[in-house]
Each structure stands twice: as structure tokens, then as C-alpha cells.
């Protein structure tokens, strides 16, 4: 009977080993599944950021056209406004947000200074003008704003 008990102990040890191996494999599979899901999400976000980035010049050109059109061009301007709003809304839905710059303090992580204006009053490093809009895409800088900054002189 002692042999049967030893055999049973060996069988139990083997079964426990297999059970541990199955648990490890299951945990490895879950980790792999999570990692693949994260990679897929990253690829989708990265792909849409490329498309959004390519559309930014189109958005800029619409904005310029709207700024330089006159009231006499009535229907054309209305059409441009509609297309611009539609394009801006689509990009917003994808995660693109224009930066608010005028009156804010210059931040080199968000803005690129293209000039400065000296004055005796005001807040040093305050943004006075925006030459080109900056955009955030899903919380990250897609394109820095080109700005003119106030420099206090005494």
C-alpha cells in the first residue's frame, strides 16, 4: 500500500504542476490580449493624428479665405463659413482642439515666438498676436502656435 500512496502523492504533485502551468498560461494570455488591445488603440490614434495633421493647412486656408472675403461676396462667404465649420467640427470630434493664445503667457512648450513688441506697461511674456493657430490633439501639442510676445522695457 505504501507504493500506492507514493504513486498518489506523485500524481497529486504532477496534477498541481499542470494546474500551475495552466494558470501561468492563462495569465500570459490575458497579458498578451491586453497588450494587443493597447497597441491597436495606439495605432488607431496615431493613424488619425496623421490625417488630422494633413488637414491643418486646409483649415488654415479656409480661415484665411474667410478673413479676406468681403461682405459683397455674400453667398460665397456663407458657403466658405459652412465648409469651415463642418471641417472644424469633424477635426474636433477626432480630438483636435485649437489653443487659446491671445492674452495668455508665452509657454515654449505650446508656442513659438516669431517676434516681440516692447512696451512700458503690461505683463511680460504676454501673447499679443497670433500669426498661426496652434492645436492640441488629444491633449498633446500637434502644432505650436506662432505668436508675437510682449516684452516690458523700463
Distance CA 138, CA 55 (A): 16
User: If you compute the radius of gyration of the chain from its CA atoms, what whole number of angstroms results?
Assistant: 30
Q: What is the pLDDT of residues 102-127, one digit of tens each?
A: 999 999 999 999 999 999 888 999 99
Give the pLDDT mean for 145-154: 93
87 and 59 in contact (C-beta within 8 Å)? yes
User: Could you tell me which of 105, 143, 101 has the C-alpha nearest to residue 124?
Assistant: 105
When pLDDT is cut at 50, 70 and 90, the band that residue 44 belongs to is confident
Q: Which of 17-21, 24-28, 110-114, 124-128 has the lowest mean pLDDT?
A: 17-21
Which residues have a Cβ under 8 Å from the Cβ of 113 and sit 6 or more positions away? 106, 147, 148, 149
Give the pLDDT mean for 33-45: 86
Distance CA 148, CA 153 (A): 16
User: Which pTM was predicted?
Assistant: 0.61
User: Is residue 8 classed exposed, middle or buried when 0-12, 13-18 and 19+ CB atoms within 10 A define those classes?
Assistant: exposed
Amino acid at each position: 500500500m505504501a507504493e500506492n500512496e507514493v504513486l498518489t502523492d506523485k500524481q497529486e504533485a504532477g496534477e498541481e504542476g499542470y494546474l500551475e502551468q495552466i494558470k501561468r498560461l492563462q495569465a500570459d494570455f490575458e497579458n498578451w490580449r491586453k497588450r494587443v488591445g493597447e497597441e491597436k488603440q495606439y495605432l488607431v490614434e496615431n493613424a488619425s493624428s496623421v490625417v488630422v495633421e494633413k488637414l491643418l493647412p486646409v483649415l488654415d486656408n479656409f480661415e484665411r479665405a474667410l478673413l479676406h472675403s468681403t461682405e459683397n461676396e455674400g453667398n460665397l462667404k456663407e458657403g466658405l463659413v459652412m465648409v469651415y465649420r463642418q471641417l472644424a467640427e469633424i477635426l474636433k470630434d477626432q480630438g483636435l482642439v485649437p489653443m487659446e493664445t491671445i492674452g495668455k503667457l508665452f509657454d515654449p512648450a505650446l508656442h513659438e515666438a516669431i517676434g516681440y513688441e516692447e512696451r512700458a506697461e503690461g505683463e511680460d511674456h504676454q501673447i499679443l498676436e497670433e500669426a498661426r493657430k496652434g492645436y492640441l490633439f488629444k491633449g498633446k501639442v500637434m502644432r505650436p502656435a506662432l505668436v508675437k510676445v510682449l516684452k516690458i522695457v523700463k
